[in-house]
Amino acid sequence: MKRLILLFFSLPIISSSYLDYSHPYHPTSSDKGMVVSQNYLSSDIGAKILSKGGNAVDAAIAVGFSLTATLPRAGNIGGGGFMLIYNASEKTVISIDFRSMAPASASYDFYHKDGKRLPDISTGYKSIAVPGTVAGLLKAHDLYGSLPLAELIQPTLDLLEAGVPITEDLFFALGSEEQLQEDDESVSIYFNNGVVRGGLLRNPDLVLTLKRIIKNGAAGFYEGETADLFEKAMIANGGLIRKSDMAQYKAQLSEPISVSYKGHTVYSQGPPSGGGIAILSSLKIFEQFNAEDFAPNKASFYHLLAEIMKFGHQNRTKFIGDPSFNEIPIEFLLSEKVALQKSEKINLKRASKDQRISKWATDIEDQFLSKDTTHYSIVDNEGNAVATTYTLGYSFGSGVTIPGTGVLTNNQMYNFSMDYGLKDTIHLSGSPANKLEPFKRPMSSMAPVMIFDEKMRLKLITGSPGGGQIPDINLQVIINVLDYDLDIGLATMLPRIHHYFPGDVLDYEATVSSDTLRILKLYGHKVKLSDTIGSSQSILIKDEVKYGFADLRRPDAKVSIQQ
């Protein structure tokens, strides 16, 4: 009996040496190449390209084409986006702008009647802009690709010919988007064979389109049969795109915008993205405060972030648009002087009112910015890296699939300031910088991010879908890593908030604690429960080890490792 008692009391001594983890969000680590995307099949395709000897750009091209099959609501060749590329041997970062473009005949009058915006321009043929993704992916291949284009597209062809698995996420998405049901061609692809969990989705016309791209490069999409099919469908259905618009489209190269932040250099996408401006200006404001006075996931921290988020969008409406059409004062917007001035306007105990800061900040109306974008991050064995964010706009874009092509198209014409001249510039819909003009690219929130340490070694790649929420999503991941030294799993999964301006609503995720919400209300915030905010796909590099994490907020994402 005494032995039993002694044994019982010895148990706490044994358990005191028990090893456990500080949180449940474990990154995937490797010293090899890594791909993180929102779909497990696409991540695996990218990793296999790396294993075959391809570089990060090769893998990015393969992933970019594959997502048009595996994630049709956001992945695309019928949309557009932005790509940051880091060349390790040259130590350079470049940006490829393949944002969708307004056709030549696009005009204010086309979208208005009797001085009012037409009600049916957010979906359907009138909403479609000239797609840029194919041009962007092929521009990347021209610059840095090492494997033949056919090898990079073939995995997608194999997947399409075998049938794309209908995952729980795809099944959910197909059941929630009415615009797909309004287009006969989309119905024939996505619904006529029955939508069953675990079933297969087939798109034989998309196979033919991809084969034309393999054979003829960009001309296989922007000229010839594919362009003919686009024009035919547009004429028949009241759309604007013509073959001449397709032929004129070009992906554009530029330097990404950047700021110095606490010993790091942070790169993001410049205009026509307003997301990069919002992220970098927010970081510069946060830099004016002592991060040690705050703690992530606390009410005081979220309050400060909410105030910074409002200011982070300052002048976005007034100044940000297509740089080919507008002079954009980037240096001024990202300057220390402006950051300091904004920081001095923040009350650490009280939420600001719109009237108080209206002369400092401008509005983004998120009704124009869909959350169904997607992002992927890639690093190869040589240290080359790619961060890509691209979109169709709404989930499944316009809802229109161009007959004979299998290409699901964007609704990015809706992202122009369609009420320019009807509203003042407090509202995005009235922004002069983003007013509709032929061949113009609409403002976007997409903002892939790359961060380098004080020795200019690559440290973090991240990005997210989320529409107008994208800048605030990326901001929180960056601060969690750089200021609070969190690993990429916890930095990703801490509860997120989001705040527009003007507007008095602070959106929060369900995982924010009730005590935090109570204090935020005392500060004067009007809080509103949100759906999950974003889905960041990130790679953190520390001591030459890569740590990848696929955000758990959306299903089917994956970190895949080069073999």
Structure tokens at 247: 């032929």
> Taking a C-beta distance cutoff of 8 angstroms, is the pair 519, 130 a contact?
no
Q: Nearest CA to 541 among 382, 371, 361, 365?
A: 382
> Taking a C-beta distance cutoff of 8 angstroms, is the pair 106, 436 a contact?
yes
Q: Nearest CA to 71 among 49, 43, 35?
A: 43
The amino acid that residue 127 corresponds to is S
Sheet holding 558-561, edge to edge: 252-254, 92-98, 80-87, 385-391, 373-379, 34-37, 558-561
Structure tokens at 183: 């287009």
Structure tokens at 271: 């205009």
Based on its alpha-carbon atoms, the radius of gyration of the chain, rounded to whole angstroms, reads 24
The amino acid that residue 415 corresponds to is N
CA–CA gap between residue 411 and residue 102 (Å, rounded): 11
Cα dihedral sign, 124-97-45-159: positive
Structure tokens at 85: 């590329």
DSSP codes of every residue in 160-214:
HHH-EE--HHHHHHHTT-HHHHT-HHHHHHHTTT---TT-EE--HHHHHHHHHHH
Q: What is the three-class DSSP state of 328? A: coil
> Taking a C-beta distance cutoff of 8 angstroms, is the pair 189, 209 a contact?
no
Q: Nearest CA to 44 among 205, 141, 210, 158?
A: 158
Tell me the residue ranges of DSSP E strands in 406-466. 407-408, 449-452, 458-462
Structure tokens at 7: 């044994």
Which residues 6+ apart lie within 8 Å of 13 measured at CB? none
Per the residue annotation, which of 28, 133, 167, 373 is the catalytic one? 373
Q: What angle do CA 181, 532, 60 make, to 5 degrees?
A: 75
Torsions phi, psi for 424 (to 5 deg): -80, 175
> Taking a C-beta distance cutoff of 8 angstroms, is the pair 67, 37 a contact?
yes
Catalytic, 373? Answer yes
How many residues belong to the chain? 563
CA–CA gap between residue 211 and residue 147 (Å, rounded): 17
CA–CA gap between residue 400 and residue 406 (Å, rounded): 10
Residue found under tokens 């064979």: 193
Q: What is the three-class DSSP state of 483? A: coil
What is the set of active-site residues? 373
